[in-house]
Structures are given as C-alpha cells and as structure tokens.
Amino acid sequence: MLFNSFEFIFLFLPITVIGFSCIGKYGHKKLAVLWLVTASLFYYSWWNPVYFWLITASIVFNYGIGTTLSKQLSLSKFSRKIILASGIALNLSLLGYFKYANFFLKNINSLLDQPIVHWDTIFLPLAISFFTFQQIAYLADAYEDRVHEHSFLHYCLFVTFFPQLISGPIVHHKEMMPQFERNSTYKLSSENIAVGLTIFFIGLFKKAVLADGIAVYAAPVFEAAEQNILLTFLEAWGGALGYTFQIYFDFSGYSDMAIGLGRMFGINLPLNFHSPYKAKSIIEFWRRWHITLSRFLRDYLYIPLGGNRKGSVRRYLNLMIVMFLGGLWHGAGWTFIAWGAMHGFYLIINNSWRTLLRALGYDSNGSGWLGQRLSQIVTFTAVVLAWVIFRAESINGAENVLKGMAGLNGFVMPESYLDGLNQIAPIKSFLANIGWEFHSLKFLQGKAEILSLFFLLIVSWCAPNTQQIMHRYQSVFDIYRVEVKKWRWNFLRWTPNFAWFLFTLTLATISIYRMMSYGYKEFIYRFF
C-alpha cells in the first residue's frame, strides 16, 4: 500500500485516524499505541505477509539486545561491547543477505568462467535498510546509556510507525519515545489534522503530479542509453534534468507525506529534506538531502572512524568511506557505489577548497549574491552529473548519457524552437556556424518538456519549502542545525483560511485526478 494509492488515502488512513481518535478519546493510551502498531504492521504486511515475520523477529531481537544493554549496566565493558557487536553484526548480516548477496555472488560468478555458486534470486524485504539502520542506532544508544524508556509497545511503534516505516525519516529512539509518552499525543487535535492534511496533500501533489509527470521524459532517455543509442546534447540533458527533478519531487513528496501523516497522530517526525537544490556547496547539499541518513552516517560511521580529528588525509579517507557505504546503502549495484564515490570525491574537493580559502585568508562561507548564485549552479550541476550515474542501470548506460551531455554525440535542435528567436536575431546561422544541426529529436519531447524542466528548476530554486510554509506550526522535529528560515512573504505561510483551503483542495483534487487518469508509481526510495 503506497501513500499515493486510493486504498491508503480513502480506506487505511481514515480508518486508522478514526480508530486512534476513538481509543485515545477515552484515555486508553496503551490501546491507542496497540492500534497504531497493528495498523502499521498491517500496512507493512500488505505487500507480502511473509515480511510480517521478518520485521517482528527483528523487533523482538533488537529489543532484547537493547534492553540487556541498557538495563545490565553492571556487566563489564567488554561483555557489553560483545553484546553490542553481535547485535549490530546480526542486523548487518540480515541486511547483507537480503540486499547484497545477489550482487556479490553475481560479481564473483562473472569473474570466474565457471560459476561456483548457484543462487536463487533473493527478494529484498520492504524497508529493510530503514528499519535495520534505525535499530542499529537504538542499540548504539542503549550501549551509551542514552535509552531510558523500555516499553515494548512503544518500541514496536518506534520501529513500525507507518508514516516513517517504508522510506524514513530514520528516527532516533530518543526523539520518538517522549512523544509517545505525552498525553496530548493521544487526543486528536484539529490543528494537528489540519496541518497534517495540508502537508500530506502538498507532498501528494509533488509526487503524483510533479515527480510522476516529469518521469515520462527521463525514462526513455535512460532506456535508450542502455541500448547504446546515441543521445545528442539536448536529449541527454533533458533526460538527466528530468531525473534530477523526478527524484527531488519524489523524495520531497514522500518526506512531506510522512511528516504530514505523523502530524495527524500528534507525532513530529524529524526534518528529512530541506530544499537541497538551493545548496551552495556539496557539504550543504548533504545537510539538506536525506538529512536523517546523513545524520546516521555522521554519528555512527564518520565520527567513530575518527571524523576530522585525525588529520586531513584521514578525514578525506573517512569521507570517502562514508560516501562509498552511503552509496552502497542505496542499492547493491556498481552505479550506486560509483555515485557514492563521486559524492565522496565532491566532498573532498569542497573541503579542500574551504581549507585553501581559509589558508589564503578568505571567508569560506561568505561571498556576494553573484558568487552565491554561481556556487549554487556549480553545486547543482555536480549533483545532476551524479544523478545520471545513480539512475542508469549500468555504468555503460551512465557513460552514454554523460557523453551526450558533454556534446560528444553532436548538438541537434528542432528548427521550430528558433521560430520566435529568429525574428529578433539570426540565431540559427550563429548556431549552425558553431556546429548545431536542425532536425527533430527522438528523445526530447518538445517545448512542453523544456518548459516543464524550467518550471521545476524555478520551483526547486526559488519557492518556499513545506517547512517554511508551515513555519508557524512547527511541523517537524527540530534537528541537525537546519534553520527553517521564515519566508519573506507572510501570505505564503500557512494558516487555516479560505485562500489556503482553496489552494490545498486544488492540490488534492489535481493529484487525485492525476492518480485516477495515469495511475500511481512507486516511490523511488521505497526500493532502498
């Protein structure tokens, strides 16, 4: 069941909210939690009931290890370390088996002439990367004696809470437990529902209309690249930008919907997405994109590896390791590894550049308006190039798109694109002189595609994000040094009035129309 499906919006969600409200109204806190856990497990098992046993076993195992670690403080440090290490090892083995076994065996077999291992394809259980990381963080917190709430029911809800179960945000035990403890959580509030509904429908619009709408332009380009069809400059850029905005609005939409759903139940989830294409450096990009994953990798990998405390070379090595593993977390494939490595490389350049600026006496954070815009464009271009590798099904496919983007397969444009411009200046002859050809293109869908890409670029660069719109209502759990600056125009900040009612209803009906007419696609992050 997807957030953007009819069965979720018109059946599962209303029933869950009404049930929760009825139980909470009479002060049955435990029963209300049980209701949410049951609903979440039902939601999870909808894809495949077999997964139910996997997640249940994982919860019981981790809860057992976690409570042992946090309650048996008298154990020697060595014993506690062994318990923690075995807990983490088992979680990672499970993840390794389901997510990476196919990949490694396929590669080993392809290196050898005679396949040494025959292996039936293992199907990846839903959300395993998310709930595994979440529980590893819990074990680490329990080891550090940061876990002080031991209710099993609350722990189950912490892992399974359906708004964040499938694709994050990756939440911390300490962020959720106090919210489950609060009495006010169990009393349905009209403010929470109004705020939650608005955020949910903003997210639904981003996913169903913007992300799914632009996907039709990106997919054929990447399919052609896999078949070694030569892509010209505009076609390749059209596909790359198409995917850049598809994944942006897909993940942003998902994150909004998750936050909106959480809010309906009185739970604030952590901010996970904060206008990443407005970033003016790759360092900033990673503070804005999938914030809770970055936080996890920083706290549980980068810092334990030594972070930036052991000199520049070690710091860069740590960055590379973290991004490499971050890439691998997204999927078992060379393209994901290459994408992670590319971002590791970007981060090294970015950090070196800052060090150099500081050494030369410049302020690495400050520059004029023009400088900031240039930084934003350079960052955005670097991100687009990396998305090409992320999206492609093979390194060869990625190479073909990148070649097209570099102009190695020629520059072609349909003549009709110049109709208006030619009246102002002899653009065509100029372009022809520098090597452009004029005929139709198979993988560029015309002016509609160009206008759509331009529109989405403007939205992602200039529009306020959902947290800025909902600023008055603190829609997210405030984490990780992300400032949700107020938007300069007051009317763009949500408040329950007629204009916002019309706006939200319009977003909702357009999204539902789109779902009825064109169906609904899975979220990209659901496969990670």
Partner 1 sequence: MDIKNLFTGFSNRTYIVGIILGIIAYVFIAETFLRIYVIPNDELSQVAVSVYESEKRDVIIGDSQFKFGFPEDYSLFEGLSFNGMPVETMGIILKEYYRHRRPNKVIIIAAPQMLAENRVERGDLGFKEYFKFNAVKLPFMIYAFEKLVSRNLADFFKWIHYKPEQQFKENMWEETAEEKRTEMTLKRIETQRPVKNFQETRNFKSYYQLLTLLKDKNAKICLLKMPVADEYRELVRNDKDFLEAETAFKEMAAAYNVKYVDLGQIPVTNDASLYINSDHLNEKGRRLFAPLVEKYCFDQ
Q: Which is nearer to partner 1, 92 or 510 (CB)?
A: 510
Contact of 477 with 271, CB cutoff 8 Å: yes
- Residues 95/132, Cβ–Cβ less than 8 Å: yes
DSSP-based three-state secondary structure for 270: strand
Closer of 437 and 522 to partner 1 (Cβ): 522
Smallest distance, Å, CB 246 to partner 1? 20
Q: Which two tokens stand for residue 387?
A: 């998305």
DSSP 124: P
- Closer CB to partner 1, residue 70 or residue 185? 185
Go through the chain and tell me how many residues it has. Answer: 528
- The nearest distance, CB 8 to partner 1, in angstroms, is 12
Active site residue 148: no
Dihedral sign (CA 280, 281, 287, 290): positive
> Quick one: which of 174, 184, 151, 156 has its CA closest to 58?
156
For the record, the structure tokens of 15 come out as 């029933």
Binding residues for partner 1, rule: CB under 8 A, are 6-7, 10, 190-191, 193-194, 197, 201, 491, 495-501, 504-505, 508-509, 512-513, 516-519
Nearest to 179 by CA among 494, 516, 476: 476
Residue 413 has φ and ψ, to the nearest 5°, of: -145, 140
Distance in Å, CB of 516 to partner 1, minimum: 4
Q: Please state the closest distance from residue 203 (CB atom) to partner 1, in A.
A: 15
Judged by beta carbon, residue 219 or residue 431, the one nearer partner 1 is 219
Where helices occur in 26-123 by DSSP H, the ranges are: 29-45, 50-71, 77-95, 101-111
Task: Tell me if 108 sits within 8 A of 117, measured CB to CB.
Answer: yes
Query: Active-site residue among 172, 274, 290, 330?
Result: 330
Could you give the CA distance from residue 455 to residue 249 in angstroms, rounded to a whole number? Answer: 13
Closer to partner 1 by CB, 174 or 493: give it: 493
Q: Which of 273, 290, 294 is CA-nearest to residue 467? A: 273
CB of 519 to partner 1, least distance (A): 5
Residue type, 35: W
Minimum distance between the CB of residue 447 and partner 1, rounded to whole angstroms?
20
In whole angstroms, how close is the CB of 499 to partner 1 at the nearest point? 5
* Comparison of 321 and 510: residue with beta carbon closer to partner 1: 510
Rank residues 26 and 498 by Cβ distance to partner 1 and give the closer one: 498
Taking the CA atoms of 39, 43, 44 and 48 in sequence, report the sign of the dihedral they define. positive
Q: What region, left, alpha or beta, does residue 361 occupy, with left being phi > 0 and alpha being psi -120 to 50 degrees?
A: left
Q: Token pair 């078949």 is at which residue?
A: 227
Query: Residue 55, class by beta-carbon neighbours within 10 Å (0-12 exposed, 13-18 middle, 19+ buried)?
Result: buried
- Residues known to be catalytic: 330
